[in-house]
Structure 1
Amino acid sequence: MGAVGEVSEAEFQSSVSASLDRLNEHTLKTVHWHFSDETGSPFWLEKKAELNFDPLKDIGSFDDLKKFPHFEDEWLRGGPIRRWVPKGHANKPVYVFETGGTTGVPKSRMVIEDHWKDYELFSETLPEKYFPRGANWLMLGPSGPRRLRVAVEHLAQHRDGICFCIDLDPRWVVKLIKKGWMEHLEEYKKHCVDQAVTILTAGHDVKCMFATPKLLESLSEALEEKGTSLAEVGITGIFSGGTEFTSQWTRFCVEEMLGGPPEESGIYMTPTYGNTLMGLACSKPITAEDGYKIAYYAPQPRAATEVVTFDDYNQVVGYGETGRVKLYTLTDEFFVPGFMERDEGERERPIGSYPWDGVSGVRPFHELASATTVGVY
């Protein structure tokens, strides 16, 4: 990944300015697609009548998206799912993925190709040495109606590999936690990890994998009990994600579990921050010199994040200051003009590879933290 020091300050500022121009242009195009009678989705065309402005005339830049009311995730709960499908994509096959809803009626997002595009972009950030093309993958995470499972499989196929998956129902995990059945929870986790160990020790030449932090740790322990390790079974590249991904856990993971940085351990781990609405935000490379700090950058212009003040969600905090994460999704399949995430963090400055704002220290939003059940994540 590039750094500011690799280019002159003038060149860097020019790339920051160009990325904002791209975002403004992309915003305009996206709004016109979703609010035009010929291409828009029934949901947004209906919502247009409730707005006190005309999106086709009054949105000229990304900043103008603040004119929209905040996107309510309750809009995603229940159907009909077809109201989200843009008329411009009317005859294409549609996927439906659950987002968040681990209790009650699931929140659903329709997708056509966004999950492919997002992970193809992410693929470009993976170092070839540790994520070799043609290598097979293991998906150690939620299965069923989850975007992540299908997306990781596409990532493997996009990189000429084959993806091995396990069965994992996050809804059952949350139920076990809420009932206080910790013994059952431990057994279910063991059941998931056992499936992964079986795949990794079956001669399938799996070199790359996705895992949530908790499951990665459990997998490492299970392999150790069998007298082997992630490195010994052939793993060289790990992509992981979830709110459990803290600097403290990353330090433990790199120094204790993996056996040092990639050049020593032979295993490269990259943290990501993503969800079914946004796609995938990549992290700048994590290093001991930087205190294992994790800073995420959204895949602009397809999605953007802001860190906003706790008392005014239209006001961005200063660099290094803490606020709530606000998300915008801007694709021709799905439009989210400002969704308040259940996370908070610190606003980060643009960097060479990602000349736009990032967010670090991502953790559950303090006002909701006590009510958030993390489960396998």
Structure 2
Amino acid sequence: MSTIDASLEPAITAAKERLDQHTVEIVQRHFHESTGCPFWLQKKKELNFDPLTEVKCYDDLKKFPSFEDDWLRGGPVDRWIMNDYKDKPTYVFETGGTTGVPKSRVVVNDFREDYEIFSDTLPDQYFPKGGNWLMLGPSGPRRLRLAVEHLAQHRGGICFCIDLDPRWVVKMLKKGWMEQVKEYKKHCIDQAITILTANHNIKCMFATPKLIESLCEGLEERGMTMQDTGITGIFSGGTEFTPQWTRFCVEELFGGPAEESGIFMTPTYGNTLMGLACSKPVTAAEKYKISYYAPQPRAVTEVVSFDDYNQSVGYGETGRVKLTTLTPEFFVPGFMERDEGEREMPFETYPWDGVSGVRPFHEIASGTTVGVY
């Protein structure tokens, strides 16, 4: 079992101290009458401790009960709006909802701030400032579409989008309408290729693994390659990211690593509740292993024991992914994700724990429809 590089200890300690301080500030904000949202101010009355006086570090968040999925389903959604944000323009984003009521998150600035932080991680060589973007992913009431659009604008470009309704795809899959699913995917790819071949100077793209593969196939049918589109930077995300797929994508679809193909792809792990976790650089030397690191201190991911959600597993061991969100407008302590993976060590760029091998949590995997797009 490898150990953490001793030279990283000062950075790890500093990151932990920053997280502890940030946690206290965020809890104070969410539980103070003048700033907190109605949901947490009401929930405070039900707790057996006082968050304002008894949360003094990140570890103290274990005092909160498990965050329940259903708290985010149904209305009134404005119970999540911070008292000092009541007069600000507010968005609502949905996640889930393939069947039943979707989870909702109200947002004022978070999606912009999350993606501006992410922007700083993108290499300008492949994601040129001023280059236009294509958003090849889910549209509708989802954070991702507006977030990618803001990312493009933040970097000086314009974002082109397609129509894609994943809920309709799930319904077709459940009915066994495979021919219709195939046609719908073709419809989405046709939209993308039409935009890419319309001389819009598109240099960057968001797409999921399945849609990247489908796009490359659609281009090939037209006698084209990804290089022919002019795209040099691809930001991607989705549960379909595996070392095997990444190797196939880089070596077969793109024609080699970025220095050879001219196309750079960065995997990410994110959702409407967390924001965006960046990946450690993915290389052939490490067999295309993908390790994600949450954007601390705004969000924290832990890999915890299947038997005790307050206990982290050892490095390299498997557990369930536990998410905590800590922003000025959204507080979620200990949300159990529908994913599992392996705990990864801190490294120079992100001196805190990461997670690799992300996949559906084994106890619910059989009932989960993944990889819709």
3-state SS of 1:46 partner: helix
Determine the structure 2 residue equivalent to 1:4. none
Q: Which of 175, 179, 183 is matched with 2:179 structurally?
A: 183
Determine the structure 1 residue equivalent to 2:354. 358
Q: Structure 1 pair 221/60, CA: closer, same or farther in 2 (3 Å)?
A: same
Determine the structure 1 residue equivalent to 2:259. 263
Question: Is the contact made by 1:197 and 1:223 (CA closer than 8 Å) also made in structure 2?
Answer: yes
For 1:143-199, what per-residue CA distance to the aligned partner results, in whole angstroms no more than 9, with x for missing partners? Answer: 010000000000000000000000001110110111110100000000000000000
Q: Which of 109, 112, 123 is matched with 1:113 structurally?
A: 109
For 1:223-258, what per-residue CA distance to the aligned partner results, in whole angstroms no more than 9, with x for missing partners? Answer: 011001111110100011011111111011011111
3-state SS of 1:232 partner: helix
**Whole-Å separation in 1 of the counterparts to 2:310 and 2:5:** 29
3-state SS of 1:324 partner: strand
Determine the structure 1 residue equivalent to 2:141. 145
**Whole-Å separation in 2 of the counterparts to 1:350 and 1:376:** 32
Q: Which of 315, 320, 324 is matched with 1:324 structurally?
A: 320
The reply to whether residue 285 of structure 1 matches residue 284 of structure 2 is no
Question: Which stretch of structure 1 is more off in the superposition, 103-112 or 138-147?
Answer: 103-112
Give the counterpart letter for 1:98 in structure 2.
Answer: E
Q: Which of 143, 148, 162 is matched with 1:166 structurally?
A: 162
**Whole-Å separation in 2 of the counterparts to 1:10 and 1:104:** 49
- Residues 1-377 of structure 1 aligned to structure 2 (within 5 Å): 11-377=7-373
**Whole-Å separation in 1 of the counterparts to 2:178 and 2:293:** 36
Question: TM-score, normalised to structure 1's length?
Answer: 0.97
**Whole-Å separation in 2 of the counterparts to 1:348 and 1:66:** 21
Q: Structure 1 pair 308/10, CA: closer, same or farther in 2 (3 Å)?
A: closer
**Whole-Å separation in 1 of the counterparts to 2:106 and 2:359:** 27
Q: CA deviation at 1:9?
A: 5.3
3-state SS of 2:226 partner: coil
Question: Is the contact made by 2:238 and 2:371 (CA closer than 8 Å) also made in structure 1?
Answer: no
For 1:279-326, what per-residue CA distance to the aligned partner results, in whole angstroms no more than 9, with x for missing partners? Answer: 000001100000100000000000000000000000000000000000
For 1:207-229, what per-residue CA distance to the aligned partner results, in whole angstroms no more than 9, with x for missing partners? Answer: 10000111110000000110011
Question: Is the contact made by 2:294 and 2:354 (CA closer than 8 Å) also made in structure 1?
Answer: yes
Give the counterpart letter for 2:208 in structure 1.
Answer: T
3-state SS of 1:231 partner: helix
3-state SS of 1:289 partner: helix
Give the counterpart letter for 2:45 in structure 1.
Answer: A
Q: CA deviation at 1:344?
A: 0.3
Q: Which runs of 5+ in 1 are unaligned?
A: 1-7
Q: CA deviation at 1:102?
A: 2.0
Q: Which runs of 5+ in 2 are unaligned?
A: none
**Whole-Å separation in 1 of the counterparts to 2:21 and 2:46:** 25
3-state SS of 1:156 partner: helix
**Whole-Å separation in 1 of the counterparts to 2:371 and 2:209:** 11
Q: CA deviation at 1:10?
A: 5.3
Question: Is the contact made by 2:143 and 2:272 (CA closer than 8 Å) also made in structure 1?
Answer: yes
Question: Is the contact made by 1:173 and 1:375 (CA closer than 8 Å) also made in structure 2?
Answer: no
* Matched residues, number: 370
Give the counterpart letter for 1:196 in structure 2.
Answer: A
**Whole-Å separation in 2 of the counterparts to 1:9 and 1:184:** 52
Give the counterpart letter for 2:334 in structure 1.
Answer: G
**Whole-Å separation in 2 of the counterparts to 1:376 and 1:124:** 29
Determine the structure 2 residue equivalent to 1:3. none
Identity of aligned residues (%): 74
Q: CA deviation at 1:271?
A: 0.1
3-state SS of 1:23 partner: helix
Give the counterpart letter for 1:311 in structure 2.
Answer: D
For 1:40-59, what per-residue CA distance to the aligned partner results, in whole angstroms no more than 9, with x for missing partners? Answer: 00000000011111101111
